[in-house]
Structure 1
C-alpha cells in the first residue's frame, strides 16, 4: 500500500514510517460533496485515485468551476484553509469514485518545516493552481462568452474525437454561465451547419468554419 502511495505521491516515501501511518486514506463515492462552502477544514486533501471538482456557487444558483483535482494532485484550497484555520471557500465534489489521502493540519504544519519533498509538492501545486485560476478570471472578465464557448469546443472536439458527451447545463457550469446562454450559442452554430446537437451530445461537422468563427470574434 505504501509503495503504491509513493508512486502517486513520491513525498510519502520521504516521511518516516510513523508519519506515513498518520496519513488517512478514505474512499468517496461519485457525486458526493466532500466539502461545502463555509465548512471547517481540518485536513489537507490529496487525490490518490479519481477526480474532484472544486466549484463556487452564488445565491442565484450560478456555478463556476474553479478547478479539478486529478490523481497525484493536492486540493490547494484544503491546504490553505487547514493551515489558516479559515472556512473552506468553495464546494468540492467527487466526479468519480475517488480515493483520497488526508493529512491533518497539525501534521501538515510540522511536516512542511521538516520534509523538503512535501514542501515542493505544495509549492508546485499552489503555483500551478494560482496560474490556472488567474487564467479563469481573465476568461470570465475579459472574454466574450461566444469566444469562450468556441475555445471550449475547439479544445474538446479534435479530428480524432469529433463528438463529446456533455449537456448544456454541464457546459454552462464549465464556463461559468447559464444554460440558456449556452443553448443559444450552440443552436446558432447548429443552424450554421457547424455542429450537430442531440440529447447530451455535441458533434463537430465543420471545424474550419468553427475556427473562422473564432478568428472573426
Structure 2
C-alpha cells in the first residue's frame, strides 16, 4: 500500500488513468487520505464493508463486479477496466445504501482509494469529475444491456469461447479460471461448462487442469463466435 499526499498526484499515473482528477486541489487530496493498493489476480479488491468508508478508482488491470445472492449464488454484473469507476459504488454512495456487490481482480490490478465523503464530494462539486464518472457509468450501463441482449441470442459455445478468448491471447494462451468462474461469467452452470471444456479438450482445441485452461487452437474457438 502506498500513501500519497497532495502534490504527489500532479506527477502520478493517477492522472494518466483519470485526467479529470486534475481539478482536485492539494487541500482536497489531503482530506481524502488517498492510498494506492496493488492486488494479485483472483483477489477481492472491494467488498460491501469497504463501501461505507472508501471510493475507488481502478488505475490498471481489469476486475469483475459481481453480486452474491442470499443462497450463495454468484452473478457477474459487469467488468471494470482501467480508468473506470464502479457504477454500483457511485449509485449506492449517492443513495446512502450499502454497496451490494464485490469486485475481484481478473488480472493484477492497481487501485486508488479515497475517503468516501471526499469521493462523493468531488462528484457533487467538480463538473469535470462528475461528467467523466457519469459518462463512464452510462457507457457501462449500455455495455451491460448489450451483454444481456447478446446472451439471449448467443449459443453456450459462443459465450464460453468469448469468455476464454477475452482472458487470453496468442502470446498468453493460459487462463487461470475454474469451471465455476467461467460458468458465472457466461450465466450457465458448472456442470454444463465442464462438459463443453471436456469436449474442447478431446478435440485438441485446449489443454486443461485444475483451475487452468491453455488455448491450443485459438482459430477453432474463434469459429464458434459466428459473424
TM over 0.5: yes
Alignment pair present for 1:17 and 2:26: yes
- 2:85 and 2:136 in contact (8 A); partners too: yes
Corresponding pairs, count: 214
Check 1:65–1:146 CA distance in 2 against 1; reply closer, same or farther (3 A cut): same
What is the alpha-carbon distance in structure 2 between the residues aligned to residue 199 and residue 205 of structure 1?
A: 17
Cα root mean square deviation, aligned: 3.2
- Counterpart in the other structure of 1:121: 132
Distance 2:139 2:204 in 1: 38
Q: Which residue of 2 aligns with 1:102?
A: 114
Is the contact made by 1:150 and 1:210 (CA closer than 8 Å) also made in structure 2?
A: yes
Deviations 1:26-60 (A, max 9, x none): 447553463239x8635432124565432112344
Q: Deviations over 1:98-156 (max 9, x none)?
A: 44222434x45543344222122212211221122112322444433222012223444
- Secondary structure at 2:188's aligned position in 1? coil
Q: Secondary structure at the match of 2:184?
A: helix
Structure 1 residues 127 and 103: alpha-carbon distance in aligned structure 2, compared to 1, 3 A threshold: farther
Gaps of 5+ in 1: none
2:92 is aligned to: 81
Counterpart Cα distance in 2 of 1:88 and 1:41 = 8
Per the TM alignment, residue 63 of structure 1 is displaced from its structure 2 partner at its CA by 1.7
Q: Distance in 2 between matches of 1:157 and 1:51?
A: 13
